[in-house]
């Protein structure tokens, strides 16, 4: 890791920082990833879910928009394209399937928005970009799963859409530690800032005090 950091130093070690108007994005924290025995189950995602709960509570208290995504397909898989051919386990994500529901540990409130997506990036083929722009959002705090899939794809698109991407390290998870860490490293090097959860919480706490 020391050699890797040295190789990137001075080239891929910039920081975007926080803006003035954030939103929190919760990517695919659905029961498929937290139910033991399910094909997509990932124990590290359960840990990330628990870490995200206080972040959402604080965001709502500061009137910061909270946006959830979930994966959902037509029962025939017509809108899944090649993605569900590559990852057949996704075919189960259809209306009425309990595994497709948002986890009970992160209950929705009336102000939350839920966006249905069919592919990895939360921006691709959805209203997310327009919604953020229309509401004057400049900072996207990205939580969810999986780090190497939907989180990374969303971070790339978020930066390309002109948003400051912030990833609280404790609030994202994957099936295995190796791709998780590799993708956090890459996101932090090129597409956003990967920060300790407490630093993100401190930023949100400061929003109403004028210190953010």
Are the C-beta atoms of residues 164 and 155 closer than 8 Å to each other? Answer: no
Residue 145 bears catalytic tag:
no
Q: Which residues contact 45 (CB under 8 A, 6 or more apart)?
A: 29, 33, 34, 145, 146, 173, 174
pLDDT over 90 at 121, yes or no: yes
* The pLDDT value given to residue 7: 65
CA-to-CA separations, 206 to 15, 52, 62, in angstroms, rounded: 19, 18, 9
Q: What confidence tens digit (pLDDT) does each residue in 141-173 have?
A: 999 999 999 999 999 999 999 999 999 999 999
Are the C-beta atoms of residues 29 and 52 closer than 8 Å to each other? Answer: yes
* The pLDDT value given to residue 3: 76
- Give mean pLDDT, residues 73-82: 96
Which residue bears the tokens 């209950």? 107
Q: What is the mean pLDDT of the chain?
A: 94
* The pLDDT value given to residue 211: 42
- Residue 209 burial (CB < 10 Å; 0-12/13-18/19+)? exposed
* The pLDDT value given to residue 15: 85
* The pLDDT value given to residue 9: 74
Q: How far apart are the first and last CA of the chain?
A: 32
Q: What confidence tens digit (pLDDT) does each residue in 23-75 have?
A: 999 999 999 999 999 999 999 999 999 999 999 999 999 999 999 999 999 99
| Catalytic entry in 20, 145, 150, 171 | 150
pLDDT over 60 at 210, yes or no: no
Q: Which residues contact 24 (CB under 8 A, 6 or more apart)?
A: 55, 56, 59, 64, 65, 66, 67, 141, 143
Distance separating alpha carbons of residues 174 and 163, to the nearest angstrom: 24
- The β-bridge partners of 116 are 70
Q: At what angle do helices 197-205 and 43-61 cross, to 10 degrees?
A: 10
* The pLDDT value given to residue 205: 96
- Give mean pLDDT, residues 113-129: 98
β-bridge pairing 193-195 and 139-145: unpaired
Could you name the CATH architecture of 18-205?
Answer: 3-Layer(aba) Sandwich (3.40)
């Amino acid at each position: 890791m020391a050699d890797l950091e040295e190789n990137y130093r001075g080239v891929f070690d910039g920081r975007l920082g926080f803006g003035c108007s954030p939103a929190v994005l919760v990517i695919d924290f659905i029961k498929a990833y937290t139910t033991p025995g399910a094909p997509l189950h990932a124990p590290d995602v359960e840990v990330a879910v628990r870490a995200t709960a206080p972040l959402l509570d604080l965001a709502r208290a500061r009137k910061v928009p909270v946006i959830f995504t979930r994966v959902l397909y037509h029962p025939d898989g017509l809108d899944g394209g090649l993605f569900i051919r590559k990852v057949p386990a996704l075919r189960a994500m259809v209306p009425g399937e309990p595994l497709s529901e948002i986890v009970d540990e992160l209950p929705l409130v009336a102000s939350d928005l839920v966006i249905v997506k069919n592919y990895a990036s939360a921006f691709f083929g959805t209203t997310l970009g327009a919604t953020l722009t229309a509401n004057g959002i400049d900072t996207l705090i990205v939580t969810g799963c999986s780090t190497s899939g939907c989180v990374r794809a969303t971070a790339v698109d978020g930066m390309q859409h002109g948003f400051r991407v912030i990833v609280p390290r404790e609030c994202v998870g994957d099936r295995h530690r190796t791709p998780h860490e590799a993708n956090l490293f890459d996101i932090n090097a090129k597409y956003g800032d990967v920060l300790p959860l407490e630093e993100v919480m401190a930023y949100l706490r400061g929003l109403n005090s004028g210190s953010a």
